[in-house]
Chain A
């Protein structure tokens, strides 16, 4: 189970990104909402949801939403999750959000993330408002019935509580060292 629970405050991080720059959570303090997403290259669940995350960033960008993706997997055991491969993936897919490398796995451990993908959505004040999965159908975007992240974003932007503050993350386990 995640260590951060809805209502908890965000934990600071500063990590290198695929753009060779350092990214800190504080860099996005002016955004209305920040979704920290633990993900990776190799996991089919993470990959199945990539296009939907790109769509969410595009749809909500003008309303002050920032997605921040973090890969924490052990790249020695899973070479597809190394920083060079992350750079390739980000470029190939056209990620419109930062993709950061948590080589020490400290941030994943601090947040208590267990799966890829796993979302922690914070409001402008840095309070966790939603934790869980993207939606209820990894296999077929057309068959989604519950758009959990989108619904949570709409609620947070309206200053309300998301209808579901927590859902079960669905995906591969984070590959610990």
Chain B
């Protein structure tokens, strides 16, 4: 499985998000390496289609496909099921993406 984790260092919870991703992968029995990519410039953000930190992709597909595409060095908001906003992707969202990689896999 191809899993990538893109982050911007100024967003303080990226380490927690990466830890959460690895925990969910372990719970799901997925031994794949996570490709960790540090995004440091606006130019790189555009190249990587990076809309905010943290971004998790499974086979290149965003686990929470964005509604708009403003590429920037910024922190990303995730919408929780109860309506709250969090800087951390919820575990269930990560789990769903990992469980249906075929659906996520492009092409």
Contact = CB atoms under 8 A, between A and B. Distances in A.
Contacts of B87: 44-45, 48, 138-139
A79 interface: yes
A170 B12 contact: yes
Interface residues on B, range: 10 to 19
Given A170-B12, A171-B12, A47 B85 contact: yes
B11 interface: yes
Main secondary structure on B side of the interface with A? loop
Contacts of B72: 77-78
B12 A44 contact: no
Interface string A119-151: 000000000000000000011000000000000
B10 A172 contact: yes
Interface of B: 10-13, 70, 72, 74-78, 84-88
Interface of A: 42-45, 47-48, 51, 77-79, 138-139, 170-173, 175
